[in-house]
Amino acid sequence: MMLAVEWFWLDWPWWADTVVRLIFAIVVVLLPAGVTVYLYLFKMVSFMQSRLGPMEAGPYGSMQLLAEVGKNLQKEDIFPAKADRRVFALAPYVVLLSTFLLAVVIPFGPQATFINLDTGVFFALAVSSVSVVGVIMAGWASASKYSLLGGLRAAGQLIAYELPLILAVVGVVIQAGTLNLQGIVTAQTEGEIFGFGGLGNPYFFTQFIGFFIFLVAVQAELTQVPFDMPIAESELVSGYMTEYSGFRFLMFFIGEFATANIFAFLGATLFLGGWQVPPFVHDLLGVDANWQYFNLIGPGVMLAKMLLLTFVVYWVRFTFPRFREDQLQKFAWKFLIPLSLLNIAVTGAFKVWL
């Protein structure tokens, strides 16, 4: 089976290999963002609300995204008179920086990784909180009351839900016994459920509490609707983005939805078995788990799992009403964090005694 695929990454000079990785990085960050924004944010919400959504630009409005980009390209880039200009200009960069760095560690196949860090999960959780800095920068530098309130709310919310996110992932790390994302995928593939290995052991079976906490925390980290206090449009106009216009505003928008996808990729890797297909498919095809062609199949599998998870994100977004600020903090500190601590203790006990 050592055929066509192998030449593609093994014998390239390091610089060429890196350039290919960087090109794929842009594809991984921007393309799924476009797909999910059109599919879910434009179309699915429209059908849920008994309307058609965009229909004019292209067949079924599929070119709507390009139209939006074209529109925002022509918009004036307004800097408020009182704003701290340098910080104001820098904030969207920091938000997108967090998104790109988060994408670095996601594996898409046995060799198809950007980098295979030993501390993958830890790295991902660390860089995911960089976006908080960008949001506070945007809120503070705008010198507007709405922006400042939005920025502070975002900071309070993101740090409150950072903890359940981290603690939920610890359960997975205990089960897999590694921080390496590739290792976690392998552990799920080789796992068994009561001696039955046909499905492997995707951790949403055993870590269902962790999976629930992870989904809730991700929803909050993305400031999607039940947790959209920072940009609550009926109270704060648009929160920390109020003073932004044109393409600088669109960068926040892209950052938000690209991060949603990357978090969904991360969730798929941690809880749904990653790029790997269920092991009974290996037997059907008569191949082993590191078959060369999984480097081509893997991204497709990841895309399917990512679409499934982002579907849940948007479904919740369009279904639930907004939390109040005190309810939001209460939910994180008095429910999710104790629950995730309990989850860690129980998972540890199972790991040691079973």
| 113: β partners | 107
3-class SS at 196? strand
| Residue 339 in contact with other proteins, rule: CB under 8 A | no
Determine the Cα–Cα distance for residues 96 and 100; give it in Å rounded to an integer.
6
Q: Does 209 bind other proteins (CB under 8 A)?
A: no
Binding flags for other proteins, 228-267, as an x/- string (CB under 8 A): ---------x----xx--xxx-xx----------------
Q: Does 103 bind other proteins (CB under 8 A)?
A: yes
Least distance from other proteins to the Cβ atom of residue 222, Å: 18
272 in contact with other proteins (CB under 8 A): no
Residue 148 is a binding residue for other proteins (CB under 8 A): yes
**For the window 119-138, what string marks contact with other proteins as x by the rule CB under 8 A?**
x-xxx---------------
Q: Using the rule CB under 8 A, which residue among 47, 93, 208, 280 binds other proteins?
A: 93
Of 167 and 215, CB closest to other proteins: 167
Q: Which 293-332 residues touch other proteins, going by CB under 8 A?
A: 325-326, 329-330
Interacting residue with other proteins among 8, 21, 87, 315 (CB under 8 A): 21
The nearer residue to other proteins, 283 or 324, going by C-beta atoms, is 324
By three-state DSSP, how is residue 131 classified? helix
Q: Is 68 exposed, middle or buried (0-12, 13-18, 19+ CB in 10 A)?
A: middle
162-201 binders of other proteins (CB under 8 A): 162-163, 166-167, 170, 173-174, 177-179
Looking at the chain, list the stretches that DSSP marks H as alpha helix, in order from N- to C-terminal side.
Answer: 14-36, 45-48, 64-73, 85-103, 120-128, 130-141, 145-176, 181-190, 203-206, 208-221, 233-236, 246-271, 279-285, 294-319, 325-330, 337-353
Give min distance, CB of 60 to other proteins, in A. Answer: 26
Nearest residue to 5 (alpha-carbon basis) of 126, 85, 110, 153? 110
CA dist 301 and 268 (Å) reads 10
